[in-house]
Amino acid sequence: MSGQVARQARSATQPPMQVGVLGFGGLGQAAARMLVPKQEMMWIAAADQKGYAYTGSGLNWDECVAAYQKGSLGYLEPSGTLSNSSIQDLIQQAGQVEGYFLALPNLPNTFMAEVARQFIQSGWRGVLVDAIKRTSAVEQLLHLSDDLQAAGITYLTGCGATPGLLTAAAAIAAQSYAEIHQVKITFGVGIANWEAYRATIREDIAHLPGYDTESAHQMTDAEVEALLDQTHGLLTLENMEHADDIMLELAGICSRDRVTVGGVVDTRNPKKPLSTNVKITGRTFEGKISTHTFTLGDETSMAANVCGPAFGYLKAGISLHRRGIHGLFTAAEVMPQFVR
């Protein structure tokens, strides 16, 4: 049997990886829906702000969405529990979860690091993957690197679209060059209405001149709507504080000042306002200056480009964890694995 055939035969007989999704808003729901047809992963746990759902035999997506629309996953019968400390309670209940995708808002900007600390203190061992965006948020996780390792947790950060898919593409494209001059990420996002992705939109507003994470966090829904009315639903973002920069620096590809991120978000139209792309400019060993461009298909949604990579990194993280490799990694240093 060839190595590849042997691997396929093994994966066909292995039980699916048991995974959870924390946060059940726009991305959390899309993530769980993406898992429905997958053979290699089974979705058994989820939490929102007011409750959680857990069953070892696997959660049903439609039933979970119906419960969430009533106010929380906690209303799911019979597997839901209402709780104001849903993450904490779920970790205690669901010891068999091998890995979680953290589809949580990072508001305040310290929230994801606090969640990581909760996992460290709980004694749970497994894999965590986030799609966090800000450089300063990834820096907080870097400080937890030793604690994660000691706790037996494999944590992969920045594993969405940007940072994530596009940062990883830049890391691969960089291999053609002897020196990297510039990495320029430009994204276009189109969503039909902002309420489907409240945290994403608030976190994007925090990058606009005159706003920060704290003021965006405090905005009421009516204030967000008033701002979007003024801009005809568009958010135009430049020179964002995005962790693609620190991730490429840590991977030894270029200094962070050579990485720029910006884009346009249309909150009233699912069509992308522009094609998402990353341009990597460098000098080859022969002295030629050139640019590689990686452009995402316009038909792919934000949810597809965030949740697909997040689970690809979750699978990669689980294989590292099973080999005893723990600690903090970024999307620029580990290759995602395709989930069948």
Find, among 96, 116, 125, the residue nearest to 22 by Cα: 116
Residues contacting 166, CB < 8 A, separation 6+: 185, 187, 244, 276, 278, 294, 296
Residue nearer to ligand NAD on the CB measure, 191 or 282: 191
59 in Cβ contact with 70 (< 8 Å): no
- Quote the DSSP letter at residue 58: -
The residue at minimum Cβ distance from ligand NAD is: 25
Tell the smallest beta-carbon distance from residue 32 to ligand NAD (Å): 11
Residue nearer to ligand NAD on the CB measure, 18 or 200: 200
Amino acid, single-letter form, for residue 64: C
Tell the smallest beta-carbon distance from residue 43 to ligand NAD (Å): 15
Active site residue 207: yes
Q: Buried b vs exposed e over 161-179: b needs ≥16 C-beta within 10 Å?
A: bbbbbbbbbbbebbeebee
Tell the smallest beta-carbon distance from residue 86 to ligand NAD (Å): 5
| Active-site annotation holder among 133, 272, 315, 321 | 133
Contact residues: ligand NAD, CB under 6 A: 23-28, 47-49, 86-87, 103-106, 131, 133, 160-164, 197-200, 203, 302, 306
| Active-site annotation holder among 40, 203, 217, 272 | 203
Distance CA 134, CA 250 (A): 15
Active site residue 133: yes
Q: Which own/partner pairs from 8-16 qualify as long-range (CB within 8 Å, at least 24 positions apart)?
A: 11/40, 11/340, 16/40, 16/41, 16/42
Residue nearer to ligand NAD on the CB measure, 86 or 154: 86
| Active-site annotation holder among 40, 98, 207, 326 | 207
Active site residue 184: no
Tell the smallest beta-carbon distance from residue 37 to ligand NAD (Å): 21
Residue nearer to ligand NAD on the CB measure, 148 or 261: 261
Tell the smallest beta-carbon distance from residue 49 to ligand NAD (Å): 4
Q: Write the DSSP assignment of 78-97 as a string of letters.
A: TTEEE-SSHHHHHHHH-TT-
Active site residues: 133, 203, 207
